[in-house]
């Protein structure tokens, strides 16, 4: 949005004093929250709690419908019959226990009494009763004590009493139930549900029109709403009164340019902003300088906040700006201002994030003219502007003209082409700059005058073409971050850099060999340096095995990565200069055989990670036997990935009382861990197929994860026969699974078995997957029938089977999947689905009373669909494609009262449609393509089926086109790839 637009639409107005009323939504207008409603109701009745009350926080950004969902829950007849009394409190902005209690006792009535007078009335209202209390829109609970003050007063109710808390702040859910405790996170609506809500409000009678162009425009507009019900309601309701001819121009607008959106949505979102501390408000508003859908590096974002002075340290002298900055980020994340994009597996910290478009609009509105994204349409900058992001299409002369009156600019982001002379005349004249980003500006020379920017704290010159940095750059004594990564012509770093005492982050990364001669000596003088990012490949990395590199390195460095060092056979003694090193990561050093002698000196180490070092044994004999593990009294995390020569962990680790966490992954020859562990809290062992035993002392663990290890070990951990079970049964988080986490959804809901072999005892294999919702069998060559062990999968909703060349029968496994909603079978050459003589196939299909989608693709032996499908009244969609010998679908589908869509493609022998298709009023879509015999019978002019199908709303009848009869091999390959992507896209459902 430009500065002019912002004034036009009054985006600088102060919303602080606007009174927000959450709109009431009629029950029939609530769309897409049935699953959420049922989950909450199920929790109300089934959740286990040690106290007599159970608390269910509902967490989500403003506008998702938390209040509406809670209203729907308490209106449910089962809930109303079970709980008495049911109470609702609109919690004040400032959380005050006395105020909440007054609202519980006498809603909406002014009460001057004090707490000691109120307690008797509260006790009388709830004592001995199984009540349900909704605390709606909770803010401002800073600590556990404040919450317990209220909870203690509410414990007089009968066992089974429940409290629902709606909040925008995940931190409040953590305060109430703990960081690992129960919370229901309300997400955005998916595309299908969003469209259901949109068309209900945007079109007459809520019916989708026949005009496909209008529908497509509507869906484009709907996608701008980002799945937030409040936004969809606002925009769709406004469109209802707009002439359809004007929709096309409307779709080109940003939502923030629409008055209804700004008046109805932004104030709701701004409530969250108003509750932020001042420093977080600055951090959030600053993010408006980036475009929508931008993926932030969290580390970089924190560095930018630091450069502007937004991050304030407390009196704790052990704190650093980076840690405090991450706390700021977490606070914003918990309040739903950010969305997680990527999490670091090792530290569990968020490394990348993004903003929902609505949050970006909010950031833009609250920062006002202080921060602007400028484009060629802008002619000047407001004198109050402090931060600008210059569009790369701006010419240097335009930039110069825009900045002529910008005397107090503190931030400039620019990524356009710039000549050195113009740089001096414009950007480098902004003497109050704290942040300057000139990445990708194709600069060949950095002017000396840059050294005059004495306030500069953040300088990004990455991806430019200069051969050297000017010596004047070392006069930037306030500089905290310097980034010269991917400057492939850069030959040297000025030696005076060692005098830049405030430098905290130095980035010199590269994709390939480069011309950089080396690093200057004396870097140990940079006592504030927190991060040094070096080249992942190239000359400098290859020199890292040299003693001299380490001797001249940085004594206070806390993190060191040693990656792709081809000739590294042992850790050099020069590592002894790293006296403050806390984290060491060694990865892909294929010749590394020993951690000695270098590791011997790193006794301050807190985290040691070693990955994919093919020759490292870490044996209890040999040179590594001399490592004094007992001296590593700060080591808390040991992470070992992909070490094929690792047979056992070093015995010395047993003595470490500080060791909290051990992670071992894909060490295929690991046979033994340790004899015992002392204070270990987490043990994770994944894909170690020879491991058969666990150490003594595992009963004190908080988390034990064993995946894809020797089946003997999993048997020993079973709750019915395992000898380890008495030792591990009380572990708080116990994960025992025959598959890897990558094959499982983050909450244990999805597994992909790819080129696996299902063991004979399939019940044992599936025993730990009772909560599984999503299962894929892919390319399992010895799978001839679906195993009986699938009966353990009582929650399975989605099953996909693809490229299982020997699969013949879906029995007996399919028989048990009563919760199955979607079944997909692709490219299984032997599957016939023929009826059994005893009629058991009909019985099998009748058990699938939840099945709504059936897709069959590439089944050459399929002649007809099983007749048992005729009884599945839940079926909504049938897709059949590439079944070359299919002759009949079903005899009769008149019982399929829910069927909405039938798709049949490329089944050349198919001659008929099922009986009853003409009286199936639910059928909205019929698509028949490349089925020549059947299509002939469906022709509008003479086909005998035409009278039976002409009433169907969406009817697509496509014969084989001449140009398709001879398919180019490349096109066929492309088509195959596209279908493959489509298949796998269906796996990753929300």
Paired residues of 559 in beta bridges: 583
- Give the pLDDT confidence score for residue 534 in this predicted structure: 62
**Residues 6 or more apart in contact with residue 210 via CB below 8 angstroms:** none
Which residue pairs, CB below 8 angstroms and at least 24 apart, start in 939-944?
A: none
pLDDT tier at 10 (50, 70, 90 boundaries)?
Answer: very low
Decide: 662 and 716 in contact? Cβ < 8 Å.
no
Most confident of 261-265, 310-314, 831-835, 853-857: 853-857
Decide: 262 and 226 in contact? Cβ < 8 Å.
no
The rounded percent of the chain whose pLDDT value lies above 90 is 35
Compute the average pLDDT of residues 195-206.
Answer: 88
pLDDT tier at 977 (50, 70, 90 boundaries)?
Answer: very low
pLDDT tier at 150 (50, 70, 90 boundaries)?
Answer: very high
How do residues 917-934 score in pLDDT, each as one tens digit? 988 889 999 999 999 999
Whether residue 508 is predicted with pLDDT greater than 50 in this model: the reply is yes
Q: In this predicted model, which residue has the larger pLDDT, 226 or 554? A: 226
- Give the pLDDT confidence score for residue 989 in this predicted structure: 25
CA atoms lying within 13 Å on the CB side of residue 214? 16
- Give the pLDDT confidence score for residue 670 in this predicted structure: 93
Distance of alpha carbon 408 from alpha carbon 639, whole angstroms:
49
For residue 337, give the nearest of 386, 271, 258, 254 by alpha carbon.
271
Compute the average pLDDT of residues 3-32.
Answer: 43
What are the tokens at 7?
């004034």
Whether residue 624 is predicted with pLDDT greater than 50 in this model: the reply is yes
Helix or strand run (H / E) with residue 42: helix 34-46
Compute the average pLDDT of residues 683-702.
Answer: 90
Between β-strands 350-354 and 296-297, what pairing exists: parallel, antiparallel or unpaired? Answer: antiparallel
- Give the pLDDT confidence score for residue 966 in this predicted structure: 39
Decide: 660 and 680 in contact? Cβ < 8 Å.
yes
C-beta neighbour count of 223 within 10 angstroms: 15
Decide: 890 and 863 in contact? Cβ < 8 Å.
no
End-to-end CA distance of the chain: 32
Whether residue 75 is predicted with pLDDT greater than 70 in this model: the reply is yes
For residue 522, give the nearest of 485, 555, 477, 567 by alpha carbon.
555
How do residues 315-340 score in pLDDT, each as one tens digit? 766 778 999 999 999 999 988 889 88
Q: In this predicted model, which residue has the larger pLDDT, 771 or 187? A: 187
Distance of alpha carbon 874 from alpha carbon 823, whole angstroms:
13
How do residues 84-97 score in pLDDT, each as one tens digit? 999 999 988 788 89
How do residues 19-60 score in pLDDT, each as one tens digit? 333 445 566 567 888 889 999 999 999 888 878 899 999 999
- Give the pLDDT confidence score for residue 972 in this predicted structure: 36
How do residues 728-739 score in pLDDT, each as one tens digit? 888 878 877 765
Phi, psi of 12 (to 5 degrees): -95, 5
- Give the pLDDT confidence score for residue 51 in this predicted structure: 82
**Residues 6 or more apart in contact with residue 139 via CB below 8 angstroms:** 91, 93, 94, 95, 167, 168, 169, 172, 275
Comparing 181-190, 532-541, 819-828, which segment has the lowest mean pLDDT?
Answer: 532-541
Compute the average pLDDT of residues 816-831.
Answer: 91
- Give the pLDDT confidence score for residue 9 in this predicted structure: 27
Decide: 502 and 479 in contact? Cβ < 8 Å.
yes
Comparing 330-344, 411-425, 830-844, 947-961, which segment has the lowest mean pLDDT?
Answer: 830-844
Decide: 786 and 831 in contact? Cβ < 8 Å.
no
**Residues 6 or more apart in contact with residue 225 via CB below 8 angstroms:** 194, 198, 231, 232, 235, 255
Most confident of 46-50, 312-316, 356-360, 984-988: 356-360
CA distances from residue 489 to 449, 450, 467, 482, 521 in whole angstroms, order as listed: 21, 20, 5, 17, 21
Q: In this predicted model, which residue has the larger pLDDT, 363 or 532? A: 363
- Give the pLDDT confidence score for residue 234 in this predicted structure: 85
Paired residues of 134 in beta bridges: 88, 164
Distance of alpha carbon 204 from alpha carbon 222, whole angstroms:
17
Beta strands in 381-500 (DSSP E): 387-390, 411-414, 435-437, 458-460, 481-483
- Give the pLDDT confidence score for residue 26 in this predicted structure: 60
Q: What is the DSSP letter of 880?
A: E
What are the tokens at 584?
């060491």
Decide: 44 and 74 in contact? Cβ < 8 Å.
no
Compute the average pLDDT of residues 183-192.
Answer: 90
0.75 cut: is pTM over it?
A: no
Taking all residues of the chain, what is their mean pLDDT, rounded to a whole number? 82
The rounded percent of the chain whose pLDDT value lies above 70 is 84
Distance of alpha carbon 659 from alpha carbon 160, whole angstroms:
40
Compute the average pLDDT of residues 191-196.
Answer: 91
Which residue pairs, CB below 8 angstroms and at least 24 apart, start in 35-41?
A: 36/69, 36/184, 36/186, 37/69, 37/72, 37/73, 37/76, 39/184, 40/69, 40/70, 40/73, 40/164, 40/184, 41/73, 41/76, 41/78, 41/79
How do residues 773-815 score in pLDDT, each as one tens digit? 888 888 887 788 888 888 878 888 999 998 898 898 888 888 8
- Give the pLDDT confidence score for residue 517 in this predicted structure: 66
- Give the pLDDT confidence score for residue 671 in this predicted structure: 92
Phi-psi region of 840 (alpha: psi -120 to 50; beta: other; left: phi over 0): alpha
The per-residue DSSP string of 84-153 comes to: SSEEEEE--SS--HHHHHHHHHSTT------HHHHHHHHHHHHTT---EEEEES-----SHHHHHHHHHH
**Residues 6 or more apart in contact with residue 576 via CB below 8 angstroms:** 598, 601
Distance of alpha carbon 90 from alpha carbon 913, whole angstroms:
57
**Residues 6 or more apart in contact with residue 442 via CB below 8 angstroms:** 417, 418, 464, 465
**Residues 6 or more apart in contact with residue 120 via CB below 8 angstroms:** none
**Residues 6 or more apart in contact with residue 793 via CB below 8 angstroms:** 766, 769, 770, 772, 775, 816, 817
Whether residue 426 is predicted with pLDDT greater than 50 in this model: the reply is yes
Q: In this predicted model, which residue has the larger pLDDT, 692 or 843? A: 692
């Amino acid at each position: 949005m430009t500065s002019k637009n912002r004034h036009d639409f009054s985006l600088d107005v102060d919303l602080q004093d606007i009174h927000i009323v959450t709109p009431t939504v009629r029950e029939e207008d609530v769309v897409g929250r049935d699953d959420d409603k049922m989950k909450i109701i199920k929790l109300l009745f089934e959740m286990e709690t040690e106290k007599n009350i159970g608390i269910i926080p509902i967490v989500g950004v403003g506008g998702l419908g938390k209040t509406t969902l809670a209203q729907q829950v308490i209106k449910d007849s089962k809930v109303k019959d079970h709980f008495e009394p049911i109470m609702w409190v609109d919690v004040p902005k400032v959380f005050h226990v006395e105020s909440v209690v007054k609202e519980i006792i006498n809603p909406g009535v002014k009460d001057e009494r004090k707490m000691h007078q109120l307690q008797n009335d509260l006790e009388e209202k709830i004592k001995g009763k199984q009540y349900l209390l909704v605390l709606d829109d909770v803010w401002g609970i800073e600590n556990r004590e404040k919450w317990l003050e209220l909870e203690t007063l509410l414990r007089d109710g009968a066992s089974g009493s429940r409290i629902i808390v709606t909040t925008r702040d995940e931190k409040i859910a953590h305060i109430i139930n703990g960081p690992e405790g129960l919370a229901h996170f309300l997400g955005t609506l998916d595309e299908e549900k969003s469209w259901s809500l949109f068309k209900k409000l945007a079109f007459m009678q809520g019916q989708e029109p026949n005009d496909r162009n209008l529908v497509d425009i509507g869906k484009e507009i709907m996608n701008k709403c980002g799945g937030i019900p409040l936004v969809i309601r606002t925009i769709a309701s406004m469109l209802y009164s707009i002439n359809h001819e004007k929709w096309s121009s409307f779709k080109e607008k940003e939502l923030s340019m629409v008055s209804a959106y700004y008046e109805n949505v932004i104030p709701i979102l701004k409530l969250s902003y108003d509750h932020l501390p001042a420093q977080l408000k600055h951090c959030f508003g600053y993010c408006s300088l980036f475009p929508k859908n931008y993926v932030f590096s969290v580390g970089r974002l924190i560095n930018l906040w630091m450069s502007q002075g937004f991050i304030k340290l407390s009196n704790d002298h052990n704190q650093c700006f980076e840690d405090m900055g991450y706390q700021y980020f977490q606070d914003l994340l918990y309040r739903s201002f950010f969305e997680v994009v990527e999490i670091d597996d090792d530290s569990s910290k968020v490394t990348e994030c993004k903003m929902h478009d609505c949050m970006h609009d909010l950031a833009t509105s609250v920062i006002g003219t202080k921060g602007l994204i400028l484009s060629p349409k802008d002619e000047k900058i407001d004198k109050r502007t402090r931060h600008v992001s210059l569009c790369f299409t701006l010419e240097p002369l335009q930039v110069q003209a825009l900045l002529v009156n910008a005397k107090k600019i503190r931030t400039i982001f620019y990524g356009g082409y710039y000549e050195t002379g113009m740089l001096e005349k414009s950007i480098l004249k902004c003497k109050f700059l704290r942040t300057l980003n000139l990445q990708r500006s194709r600069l060949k020379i950095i002017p000396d005058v840059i050294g005059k920017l004495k306030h500069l704290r953040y300088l990004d010159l990455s991806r430019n073409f200069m051969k050297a940095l000017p010596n004047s750059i070392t006069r930037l004594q306030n500089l905290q971050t310097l980034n010269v990564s991917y400057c492939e012509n850069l030959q040297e770093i000025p030696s005076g850099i060692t005098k830049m005492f405030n430098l905290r982050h130095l980035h010199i990364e590269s994709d390939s060999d480069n011309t950089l001669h080396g690093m200057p000596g004396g870097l140990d003088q940079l006592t504030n340096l927190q991060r040094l990012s070096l080249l992942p490949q190239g000359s400098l990395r290859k020199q890292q095995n040299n003693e001299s590199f380490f001797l001249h390195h940085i004594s206070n460095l806390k993190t060191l990565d040693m990656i792709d060092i081809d000739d590294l056979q042992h850790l050099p003694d020069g590592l002894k200069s790293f006296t403050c090193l806390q984290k060491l990561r060694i990865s892909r050093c294929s010749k590394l055989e020993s951690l000695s002698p270098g590791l011997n000196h790193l006794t301050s180490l807190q985290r040691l990670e070693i990955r994919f070092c093919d020759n490292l044994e870490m044996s209890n004999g040999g040179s590594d036997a001399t490592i004094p593990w007992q001296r590593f009294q700060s080591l808390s995390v040991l992470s070992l990935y992909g070490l094929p020569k690792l047979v056992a962990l070093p015995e010395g680790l047993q003595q470490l009382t500080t060791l909290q966490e051990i992670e071992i992954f894909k060490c295929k020859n690991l046979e033994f861990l340790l004899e015992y562990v002392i204070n270990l809290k987490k043990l994770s062992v994944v894909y170690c197929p020879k491991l058969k035993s666990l150490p003594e002392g595992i009963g004190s663990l908080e988390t034990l994860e064993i995946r894809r290890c020797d089946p003997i070990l999993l048997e020993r951990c079973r709750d019915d026969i395992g000898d380890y079970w008495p030792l591990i049964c009380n572990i708080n988080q116990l994960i025992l699974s025959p598959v890897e986490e990558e094959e499982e959804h983050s909450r244990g809901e999805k597994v992909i078995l790819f080129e696996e072999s299902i063991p004979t005892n399939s019940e044992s294999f599936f025993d730990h997957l009772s909560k599984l919702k999503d299962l894929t069998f892919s390319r399992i060559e010895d799978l001839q029938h679906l195993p009986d062990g699938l009966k353990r999968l009582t929650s399975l909703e989605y099953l996909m089977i693809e490229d299982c060349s020997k699969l013949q029968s879906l029995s007996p496994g399919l028989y048990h999947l009563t919760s199955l909603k979607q079944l997909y079978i692709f490219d299984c050459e032997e599957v016939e689905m023929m009826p059994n003589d005893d009629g058991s196939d009909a019985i099998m299909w009748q058990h699938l009373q939840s099945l709504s989608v059936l897709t069959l693709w590439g089944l050459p032996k399929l002649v007809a669909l099983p007749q048992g499908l005729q009884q599945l009244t839940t079926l909504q969609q049938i897709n059949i494609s590439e079944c070359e010998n299919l002759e009949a679908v079903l005899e009769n589908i008149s019982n399929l009262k829910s069927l909405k869509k039938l798709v049949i493609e490329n089944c050349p022998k198919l001659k008929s449609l099922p009986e009853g298709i003409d009286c199936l009023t639910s059928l909205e879509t019929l698509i028949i393509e490349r089925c020549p015999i059947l299509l002939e019978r469906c022709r509008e002019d003479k086909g005998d089926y035409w009278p039976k199908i002409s009433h169907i709303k969406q009817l697509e009848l496509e014969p084989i086109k001449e140009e398709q009869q001879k398919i180019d091999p490349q096109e066929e390959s492309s088509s195959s790839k596209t279908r493959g992507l489509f298949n796998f896209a269906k796996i990753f459902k929300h």
